[in-house]
Amino acid sequence: MDEYFDRITHLLRDKCRLSFTGHKRTILRRRLETRLEQLNLPDFSSYWGFLLANPAEEGNLYDLATTNETSFFRNLDQFLYLKNDIIPCRERQSTAVPRSLRILSAGCSTGEEPYSIAMTLLDAVSCADEWRLEIVAGDLSENCLQVARTGYYDDNRLRKLPREYRERFMVSDAQGATVSDDIKRMVRFIRLNLDDLMKSDCPAWSAGLGYFDIIFCRNVMIYFAPSCQQQLVDTLHQLLLPGGYLFTGDAEPLHLFRHEFVPVAAAGCLIYQKLEKSFNE
């Protein structure tokens, strides 16, 4: 019944601004049909009733609505620019000890992205003891966050992880590896609904996040309706400190939006910098 399928998509839109048209709508329908079979439910009307009666199912619905496709060091050029250019530049500029760097991984899925960031930072800084490094990693899905917090990944999911990083930053077993405690301590996982931030006049403080030097928000914007994408760009700009960097996904260039970011041409990939200026956001 399309009426109840529409109710489900409207729920996703109202709670987290996820948009389903065209191909994305077809994919969601197929995933929900598989979920109906798992629950032995006959139709979307029955699933709607099940969803209302079982609040925990909402988390499963979020998982069905998002792809959660991720890997270690996805878009490698971005990590190389972080390691070879951004961090050395920060070390040269800052005379304070400890130096400070705060990074947000928005839409962190099962944790590969924030852990890749943490490994990159420890590999790039000349002396980790002279840095205060904090990564806040948020996602809509509690199921994904549970996986991320364990820090365990099977060998298939570690294919893109450089061997030296696995040896240095992970503890291996016969089937996979667990992120080391030093890396885990750098990352704070939280449930993060970007819709809550987009509704706020001051997202940094309304969610208790603070401001960031770097934001990774990759392959997240594509799930939002076009009318919401501009608002997301504006919100990310508010969350960044002057001179901070925004990393976006391959299909998320910002030239379609109004913004005050400057493309980092030297990076050769989608990285933007917020202009250096005082702010009263």
- Residue 152: per-residue pLDDT: 97
Q: Where are the alpha helices (DSSP H) in 160-261?
A: 163-169, 181-184, 194-198, 203-206, 226-239
Which domains does the chain show, CATH number per domain? 2-65 (1.10.155.10), 76-274 (3.40.50.150)
Spatial distance between the Cα atoms of 73 and 51, rounded to a whole number of angstroms: 36
Contact assessment for residue 213 and residue 188, using Cβ atoms and an 8 Å cutoff: no
AA identity, residue 222: I
pLDDT in tens, the chain (281 residues): 588 888 888 888 887 777 777 777 888 888 888 889 988 989 889 899 898 888 888 888 888 887 667 899 999 999 999 999 999 998 888 777 788 999 999 999 999 999 999 999 999 998 888 899 999 999 988 889 999 999 999 999 999 999 999 999 999 999 999 999 999 999 999 999 888 888 888 888 877 789 999 999 999 888 887 778 899 999 999 999 999 999 999 889 898 888 889 999 999 999 999 987 644 44
Whether residue 47 contacts residue 32, with contact meaning beta carbons closer than 8 Å, is answered with yes
**Distance between CA atoms of residues 254 and 217, nearest Å:** 12
Q: Report how far residue 216's alpha carbon sits from residue 271's, in angstroms, rounded to the nearest whole number.
A: 9
Element (H, E) at 33: helix 22-39
Can you tell me whether residue 213 is helix, strand or coil?
strand
Please give the Cα distance from 35 to 41 (Å, whole number). 9
Q: How far apart are CA 106 and CA 128, in angstroms?
A: 24
Which residues have C-beta within 8 Å of that of residue 223, sequence separation ≥ 6?
18, 19, 24, 65, 66
Hey, what amino acid is at 259?
H
Long-range contacts of 170-177 (CB under 8 A, 24+ apart): 176/152, 177/152, 177/153
Q: What is the pLDDT of residue 67?
A: 67
Look up tokens 């994919």; give the residue: 27
What is the structure's pLDDT at 260?
Answer: 87
pLDDT for res 68:
67
Tell me the C-alpha distance between 281 and 274, whole Å.
13
Sign of the Cα pseudo-torsion (86, 88, 91, 94, in order): negative
CA 126 – CA 132 distance, rounded (Å): 13
Largest CA distance in the chain: 65
Cβ–Cβ < 8 Å for 68, 141: yes
Q: Using the 8-state DSSP alphabet, how is residue 135 labeled? A: E
Strand 261-263 relative to strand 187-191: parallel, antiparallel, unpaired? Answer: unpaired
Nearest to 72 by CA among 105, 116, 138, 136: 116
